[in-house]
Amino acid sequence: MVGDVWAALETAEFAHIVGLSLAVSLSATAFAAVVGLPCGAALAICRFPGRRLLILLANAFLGLPPVVVGLALYLLLSRSGPLGVLALLFTPGAMVIAQALLATPIITALTHRAIEEPWQEYGGALRVDGATRLRSIRMLLAIARRSAVTAVLAGFGRTISEVGAVLIVGGNIAGYTRIMTTAIVLKTSEGDLGLALGFGLVLIGISIAVSASAFALWAR
Amino acid sequence: MKLRQLFLLLFVVLLGRVTIAAEQPASQSIILASTTSVENSGLLAHILPAFTKETGITVHVLAQGTGQALQTAARDDADLVLVHDPEAEQKFIAAGDGIDRRQIAWNDFIVVGPRSDPAHIGGTHDAVAALKAIAGAQAPFVSRGDKSGTDALEHRLWRVAEIDPAKAGGGSWYRDIGGGMGAALNTAQAMRAYTISDRGTWLSFGNKGDLTVLVEGDPRLLNRYDVILLNPEKHPVPKQALAQRFAQWLLSPEGQAAIGGYEVAGEQLFHPSAAAPK
């Protein structure tokens, strides 16, 4: 049985599944980080009306249910829905949007938490220096970069392991929108439990590899 | 500076993503909303390459239950459907959503269950009597409960048997799992329960364990697969011509031969029937 699983893992089809998983989740994480890192930092250092509400929402959406995000996005992207003209439903693009929506609150909330303390410590000095808000955000993110990397990795963890949303908006189409998690669901339903487990181990390995490289590069 | 590296990498990833997205839609493609039984059995993966080679059209398959597949098409999110629930199909056409229903193949449903067979139905050929025996023995039975074609057939059989399984005998023997055929078979295998399966999924299913075929050969267990196009008056789908081409190919001698040629472990899963619908 191990031999069969090994043979299945060496096919071009499987390489496509792994590649698409990484492409979709890394893109979604990148979008979420580009939005979430500055927004999280801004929530920590800027004072404006509605700030507390945004912090509350970011924290509440840490537990955003993927199937609900998938369903809402499905209704929006459906050809008979408001964004149907984009023709994004059942494409990798829709999967990136769904995962980015799930990861953004995670990265925002964790960044906010990570920046609060250095802002209290260095905020006065930065202000005396005459640093602008934008410069302060950059400085503080650099100071708290380990926590920022952890925030981004938490976002990536959400995207790479998620199945509910991508199944609904991606459709698990063979060779087009099938990724690791949806392939595991499919193989399980086909009663091919050994291969499903093999896919699962590869998925965990990828997750570990991405985390390890991120820490090696930025969090030393 | 480390932070700058991070943002540079994020930028490169985004750029790469946009490039991938821009390359995609060059070739022609259609979306076929279909059932898990034709996709998970491997039939479509077996026949589609020949169609794509001949026409250059890629077919993206959504494997859903019949109920969900018809819903997807009714929302304009698929270009045609391939399903197996005559009653739901008639409603779909009566509502003005579908046209040109044509049968492409058939096989049959079977009642599977544990070898110990507590309801003693093994080797019989009357599906309704078998269900009555299972309910009488209150032996565990797994129902799809997902409005798929197989689920619809099961409920038709209970109606003929004049049994409401959710209520009969407290109903604890009747387990509605709300899942696909594979999930139902996995559950039946684990619970040593009976269930109804289509022949294609059963033959290609890899986790049979103690399950075996107990009842087959009842004419009421006939399983017909129909292809239906969307009605252009209600669904102005831009890909109607491509969808039509695929439907015609399924009905053509080449398409029919490809369907009939699909075997798992030496057994033919689908019998082409475009020329003589059952």
Flag whether B183 is in a domain. yes
pLDDT of residue B224: 95
- Residues of B whose CB is below 8 A from A31: 14
Same domain, B135 and B204: yes
Q: Rounded to whole angstroms, how far apart are CA atoms B93 and A158?
A: 42
Same domain, B119 and B67: no
Same domain, B216 and B119: yes
Flag whether B15 is in a domain. no
For A174-185, write each residue's pLDDT tens digit.
899 999 999 999
- Smallest Cβ distance to A189: which of B60, B75, B183? B183
Is the Cβ pair B3, A142 closer than 8 Å?
A: yes
Flag whether B248 is in a domain. yes
* Closest chain B C-alpha to A185 CA, distance in angstroms: 10
Q: Are B225 and B106 in contact (CB under 8 A)?
A: yes
Same domain, B118 and B205: yes
pLDDT of residue B167: 83
Q: Are A172 and A95 in contact (CB under 8 A)?
A: no
Same domain, B152 and B205: yes
Same domain, B215 and B86: no
Is the Cβ pair B62, A90 closer than 8 Å?
A: yes
pLDDT of residue A131: 85
Same domain, B93 and B231: yes
Is the Cβ pair B60, A78 closer than 8 Å?
A: no
Flag whether B268 is in a domain. yes
Same domain, B150 and B50: no
pLDDT of residue A204: 96
Interface membership of A90 toward B (CB under 8 Å): yes
Is the Cβ pair A186, B40 closer than 8 Å?
A: yes
Same domain, B163 and B112: yes
pLDDT of residue B18: 52
| Optimal mutation site among B6, B9, B24, interface A, most CBs of chain A within 10 A | B6
Nearest CA in chain A to B207: A191
Is the Cβ pair A90, B31 closer than 8 Å?
A: yes
- B22-46 as b/e, with b when 16 or more CB fall inside 10 Å? eeeeeeebbbbbbbbbbbbbbbbbb
Flag whether B53 is in a domain. yes
Flag whether B194 is in a domain. yes
Q: Which domain holds residue B113?
A: 108-221
* Closest chain B C-alpha to A47 CA, distance in angstroms: 24
Give the count of domains, chain B.
Answer: 2
Q: Rounded to whole angstroms, how far apart are CA atoms A85 and B248?
A: 28
Same domain, B112 and B208: yes
Same domain, B204 and B159: yes
- Find the DSSP H helices in chain B: 2-23, 36-40, 43-55, 66-74, 86-94, 127-137, 149-161, 181-191, 199-204, 240-251, 253-260
Flag whether B21 is in a domain. no
For B141-172, write each residue's pLDDT tens digit.
999 998 899 999 999 999 999 999 988 777 78
Q: Could you list the pLDDT tens digit for every one of the 220 residues in chain A?
A: 677 777 877 788 899 999 999 999 999 999 999 999 999 999 999 999 999 999 999 999 999 999 999 999 999 999 889 999 899 999 999 999 999 999 999 999 999 999 999 999 998 898 888 888 889 999 999 999 999 999 999 999 999 999 999 999 999 998 999 999 999 999 998 889 999 999 999 999 999 999 999 988 887 6
Q: Which of B107, B117, B108 is CA-nearest to residue B141?
A: B117
Q: Residue ranges of chain B with pLDDT lower than 70?
A: 1-27
* Closest chain A C-alpha to B162 CA, distance in angstroms: 31
Report DSSP state, residue B218: -
What is the CATH number that goes with domain A22-179?
1.10.3720.10
pLDDT of residue B9: 63
Flag whether B278 is in a domain. no
**CATH label of the domain that carries residue B262:** 3.40.190.10
For B235-247, write each residue's pLDDT tens digit.
887 788 999 999 9
pLDDT of residue B238: 79
